[in-house]
Amino acid sequence: MTTEAITLDSHSQSTKPPSDAASHLLHADFGERRRKWFSHFVVALCGVSAVVVLVPLASIFLYIINKGAPGLSLDFFTKLPTPVGVAGGGLSNAVLGTLTLIGIASAIGLPIGILAGVYVAEVGKGRVADLIRFFAEVLSGVPSITIGVFVYAVLVVPMKTFSAFAGGVSLAIIMIPTVARTTEELLRMVPSQLREASLALGVPQWKTSIFIVLRTAAPGILTGVMLGIARIAGETAPLLFTAFNNRFLSTRLDQPIASLPVQILTYATSPYAEWQQKAWTGAFVLVFVILILNLIARLGTRRQVGGAS
């Protein structure tokens, strides 16, 4: 073959239209660019959604700080409320009452919630465990005012008086599902090798569950406790039907007792500027406490997950 023939043949090959393989590569490149643009669009949409969620939360928090922080002082935690027109005073009765109600609720709700979570995770099988989970989920979705009306009919009416004990029982019922489900999930994160090693050494199952599994998951269960307390700290509706309110400092469990949520409601709906300021300060204290509890729970969950992995 001559040199001119080779040149003409190569020229004819170079002038041929692109093959099917080249066309496929062009389409693949275009499809990849389209996927990248769509990925960037979805990421941007998620970022905008996060901002939309955070803006109202930050606005509420900053507004409460702006309104409530100026009234914060030592007298707010140490002095009783004053009558209308009298300067000073605080909400020491409501602060102590809230702590009392949380203490009662924790004494009742935490053991029941933790033991229910241990049973479902370690012992309960089949329909019994499914039934407990179902009722825990249903109970967590029941409006708190419904629980308040139930406790009112069961305790307040027979006792013929509002009481701190009735308020604590209503808050305990609200707390139980949160603690039970958190305990169950965290116990399931404990490595099965610990259970198998303990049982292989002849340790009974109940001792394995309590002294091995429960002890290993204790930091995470404390997280569930914090979440449960944060869940009930700001409840108002059930307390209106159970603990009601008290203008004075009371620690008796068989008598009405003050609480921050109810006191905030009372003062916020009043026409007096002094009481409204105390309501904003009480809201600031309550939101700050709930925020701290949620942060502690978040850190505890992160450490538990990191330790499990």
The pLDDT tens digits for 78-132 are 999 988 878 888 899 999 999 999 999 999 999 999 988 888 888 777 788 888 8
- Whats the size of the chain, residue-wise? 309
Q: How many domains does the chain have?
A: 1
Judge whether 20 lies within some domain.
Answer: no
Tell me, what DSSP letter sits at residue 208? I
Whether the pLDDT of residue 185 is over 90: the answer is no
Spell out where the chain has E strands: none
CA distance 150 to 173: 11
Whether 116 is covered by a domain: the verdict is: yes
Do 71 and 280 contact (CB within 8 A), yes or no?
Answer: yes
Q: What is the pLDDT of residue 303?
A: 60
- Nearest of 182, 158, 187, 152 to residue 170 by alpha carbon: 152
In a domain, 121, yes or no: yes
The answer as to whether 40 is a domain residue is no
pTM, rounded to two decimals: 0.80
Q: What is the CATH number of the domain that holds 163?
A: 1.10.3720.10
pLDDT in tens, 13-48: 444 455 555 555 555 566 677 888 888 889 999 999
Say if 247 falls within a structural domain.
Answer: yes
d(CA 287, CA 66) in angstroms, rounded, equals 13
pLDDT on residue 8: 43
Question: CA-CA distance, 203 to 197, in Å (whole number)?
Answer: 9
In a domain, 29, yes or no: no
* Residue ranges making up the domain that contains 251: 74-308
Residue range 224-249: average pLDDT? 90
Q: Does residue 50 sit within a domain?
A: no
